[in-house]
Amino acid sequence: MPRTIAIFLHQPKASVQSANGIFRALGDQYHFKIFTEHTIEDDFFDDVDMVCFPGGLGDADSFDRLMRNHRSRIRDFVRNGGRYLGICMGAYWADRHYFDILEGVRVRQYITSPDACTRRPHPKHISVLWRDQPDQMYFYDGCVIEGDDLDIVARYANGRPMAAIQGSIGLIGCHPEAESSWYQYHSWMRKIPFGSRHDRLSEFVNRLFSTRDSENRR
């Protein structure tokens, strides 16, 4: 039976566009449930294998308001072996200032890291190494994942981790779920012959699920 992913939505913080890309990338392999900032049933996570927080617009300061009904339950879910997938904003939320579910790892802005290829957060495509293979990926103020004991899947051009797994937690700074419309929306990217990177996201999630329960941090 396919595993179930619970995905959080709150436009534009956890955007419908990002969620739609995730659905299209993973829908053939996984079932989905949706939850929002509102209170959910006590048994909502009973049949859930992974919780997903997509990317979106806005600032991370909204976390306390949006997660007032969910913070402790998400932490318990991960401690008990449930997987966590965070993309861009969702990756930032794994940091100690938010869900605090990582061990010895910080999630910081890429644009502030040494030798970053850009110092501006606006949408663009940037060069990355995915499993040591050169690639291009949609970027919108994404994060670096800094720390030890990481399975690093992808790096930015400056060598900093862009996508990594720690136990049951998978974090991605760029947007492998991005669709062609994302590029067409911005005039400076319209001429880019850019194909889907949904296979990258599928590969990442399958790898995250392949981690043994004994490897989970909490």
- Burial string for 165-192 (b: 16+ CB within 10 Å, else e) reads bbbbbbbbbbbbbbbeebbeeeeeeeee
Question: Within 13 A of 32's CA, how many CA atoms are on the CB side?
Answer: 18
Which H helix or E strand runs over 87?
strand 83-87
Residue 111: φ, ψ to 5°: -65, -15
pLDDT of res. 102: 97
Domains, in order of start, for the chain: 4-215 (3.40.50.880)
pLDDT per residue rounded down to tens, the chain (218 residues)? 899 999 999 998 889 999 999 999 999 999 999 999 999 999 999 999 999 999 987 666 789 999 999 999 999 999 999 999 999 999 999 999 999 999 999 999 999 999 999 998 888 889 999 999 999 899 999 999 999 899 999 999 999 999 999 999 999 999 999 987 777 766 666 666 566 789 999 999 999 999 864 344 43
Nearest Cα to 91, choosing from 172, 14, 146, 150? 172
Query: What token pair was written down for 85?
Result: 């997938």
pLDDT of res. 84: 98
